[in-house]
Amino acid sequence: MTLQKSVKIKRIVFFTLTALWMVAIFLFSAQNGSLSSKTSGGVIQWLLKLFYSDFDSLSIAEKEELIVSWQFFVRKAAHFSAYALLGVLSTLAFDTFKLKRIMYYVLPAVLSVCYAALDEFHQTFVPDRVGCVTDVLIDFAGAAVGISFVGLVLYLWRRQKAKKSCK
């Protein structure tokens, strides 16, 4: 397989994965408030069972209180994580082009923050959901971490590859 064909395949794969992940984010955002709370509550319950050995012995009221107390943190962590993955995937997609080095970071960042803002706007039309500027900032922070991680890994990988070719 030629190098050019390999790059085209990578480009298609990473842009497809990026688009699919954006659809997944959209679908999570399209959940009404009660379904969204139920989803995050289920994740919290699973985590509590995993890390809190006495969770099953608690009363229903105690379990619900514990779940509610973790709701805010888990929802914000989900925003951060979802956009970190978007940052990773979009950076890998844009890395398949020959661009100025800075653009490998700027383009995924712009894509992520624009999508985050659009996603929060979309949520204003979903029953029992609201759009929050702070969520856009959390999303952008997640994307920035994902973009930075990929940038660091690619830098180290290319540096190692260059050292090997000099020997």
CA torsion 134-15-88-92 (nearest 10°) is: -140
Q: Are 112 and 86 in contact (CB under 8 A)?
A: yes
Question: What's the confidence (pLDDT) of residue 53?
Answer: 85
For range 130-141, the mean pLDDT: 95
Residue 12 has pLDDT above 90, yes or no: yes
Rounded to two decimals, what is the model's pTM?
Answer: 0.88
The whole-number pLDDT of residue 98 equals 87
Per-residue pLDDT tens digits for 13-59: 999 999 999 999 999 999 998 888 888 888 898 988 888 888 888 89
Residue 100, Cβ neighbours under 10 Å: how many? 7
